[in-house]
Amino acid sequence: MILLPRGNPVKENIDPGKVQLPDALQKLQKGNFTGYLRFDTTRGVGILIYDKGRLISALFEGASEREIAYDAIALIFECSLAGNANLNIYRLSSELAMSIHALLHGQVLYKGQEVKLLDIRGLLGKMKEDRITGCLRIYTSDHIALIFYREGNPLGFFHDGSTDLEKSAENSLSVAKLPGAKIDVLTAQISEEATMADLQASADIRALWQKAHENVTRDKRSREAEVARSLEEREKDRRQKVLGLLKGVAEKSLGRIGAQLADKEFNRAMNGQGVVSEVVLEDFYQRLGKAAKLVAGPTTVKQMVDEMQRGIKALMKTD
């Protein structure tokens, strides 16, 4: 789970599967967008960070996977197309975008420390002493605030709704006062923006999108085929059980020829259908009843059909 404060929202709660993402990214590029796109998908969270229209960072983090750059973009596309994804776009200042990029690619020093159990003053002193460049992330389940540090000195604060690094600690520290608040300590190399490569310029985004499309379609087809195969297997198994029961009852009532008649009339009633429906069974009872009259009287035939119907009812309940 990637914990980032929500910046200034540009668009929220978009289904990225219904958007032509290459076109949308191109618009962001042409519009010199600075900020980040957050993709919440079933497999994990994807983040694309823009700085003045350049895609400077791409990250995808799932339960057991972490991809960056082109692989992350490809995965974000795939997860978006697979459905059940949510896209939020937030505007940030360039400085904040770079800081967030550094944070996402940094290292975790301490994770999930309870604020109320922590000596904050001691922690800040230690950061200053060790000249740590990075970030303090303070969060609850609903709110997140970041405090950026360069060589042990605070650079600024970032919390939900801000677009730039703020100098006031008020909002950020208010998160620390919330019940259940936790702190992560992260270290990062804050890069100069000039050194950052534009992933969108160096990658064929449309080709990645097309490939993701193909993968998702193939996966979907394969899943559908698997479901169909499994359904077919289950129905075949059910058909065998039903036929076994019908033949057993027919053999008990009419002898060996009864089992043969049940087999034949069942196949005729099925008439190539895959599913043993009520209609099929009704047709079967009629056909068998007619054929069975050649070897047994109406009383025996009726008793046999009644027993079959009871058996099928019980079988359907257990299935």
Partner 1 sequence: MDWNIVQLVLWLIAGIVSFYFSIGNARVWTSIAVGFGLILLGELLPQAMPFLPGASSPQIEAMSYILGTISILVMSHGFQEYYVFSRTLELEGNKLLVYVATLGVIFASMIFILINPAPTPSTLKVIRVVEDTNWVFLSLINIDLIRKIYINVKDSPISKGFIAFMLVFVFIFLWRGSELYIQVYDLANPDVSRLFPFRYELSQICSNVGNLLAGLSVGGTFIYLARLLR
Are the beta carbons of 40 and 66 closer than 8 angstroms? Answer: no
131 binds partner 1 (CB under 8 A): no
How many Å apart are CA 204 and CA 105, to the nearest integer? 23
Count CB-CB contacts under 10 A for residue 155.
Answer: 18
- Which residue number, 203 or 257, has a Cβ lying nearer to partner 1? 257
Nearer to partner 1, 113 or 300 (CB): 300
Residues touching partner 1, count (CB under 8 A): 18
The answer to whether 17 and 63 are in contact (CB under 8 A) is no
Q: Does 296 bind partner 1 (CB under 8 A)?
A: yes
Q: Rounded distance, CA 311 to CA 283, Å?
A: 17
Strands (E) located in 5-119: 8-14, 35-40, 44-51, 54-62, 66-68, 86-91, 107-114
Selected range binding partner 1 among 170-178, 204-212, 258-266, 308-316, rule: CB under 8 A: 258-266
Question: In sequence order, which residues have a C-beta less than 8 Å from that of residue 123 and are 6 or more positions away?
Answer: 136, 183, 185
Closest distance to partner 1 from the beta carbon of 251 (Å): 8
Of 74 and 291, CB closest to partner 1: 291
Secondary structure (3-state) at 312: helix
Out of 151, 298, 302, 319, the only residue in the binding site for partner 1 (CB under 8 A) is 298
Q: For partner 1, which residue of 294, 313, 317, 318 counts as binding (CB under 8 A)?
A: 294
Q: Which stretch binds partner 1 (CB under 8 A): 104-112, 123-131, 213-221, 293-301?
A: 293-301
Q: Is the dihedral of CA 31, 34, 38, 39 positive or negative?
A: positive
- Residue 232 buriedness (CB in 10 A; 0-12 / 13-18 / 19+): exposed
Q: Which is nearer to partner 1, 40 or 283 (CB)?
A: 283
Q: Give the one residue of 116, 264, 302, 310 binding partner 1; rule: CB under 8 A.
A: 264
Which of 123, 296 has the CB closer to partner 1? 296
Name which of 215 and 303 has its Cβ closer to partner 1.
Answer: 303
Check residue 303 for interaction with partner 1 (CB under 8 A): no
Q: 């196949």: which residue's tokens? A: 267
Query: Is residue 271 a contact residue for partner 1 (CB under 8 A)?
Result: no
Residue of the chain from 52, 260, 281, 315 that contacts partner 1 (CB under 8 A): 260
Is residue 258 a contact point for partner 1 (CB under 8 A)? Answer: yes
Between CA 13 and CA 86 the distance in angstroms is: 6
Among 140, 187, 191, 300, binds partner 1 (CB under 8 A): 300
Nearer Cβ to partner 1 (293/310):
293
Which segment (45-53, 111-119, 200-208, 249-257) binds partner 1 by CB under 8 A?
Answer: 249-257
Tell me which residue of 84, 81, 78, 50 sits closest to 65, measured CA to CA. Answer: 78
Between 256 and 313, name the residue whose CB sits nearer to partner 1.
Answer: 256
User: Long-range contacts: 227-236, Cβ < 8 Å, 24+?
Assistant: 232/274, 235/274, 235/275, 235/276
Q: Show the 3-state SS of 207-225.
A: HHHHHHHHHHHHHHHHHHH
Among 111, 293, 302, 310, binds partner 1 (CB under 8 A): 293
Residues lying near partner 1 in the complex (CB under 8 A): 251, 254-258, 260-261, 264, 291, 293-300
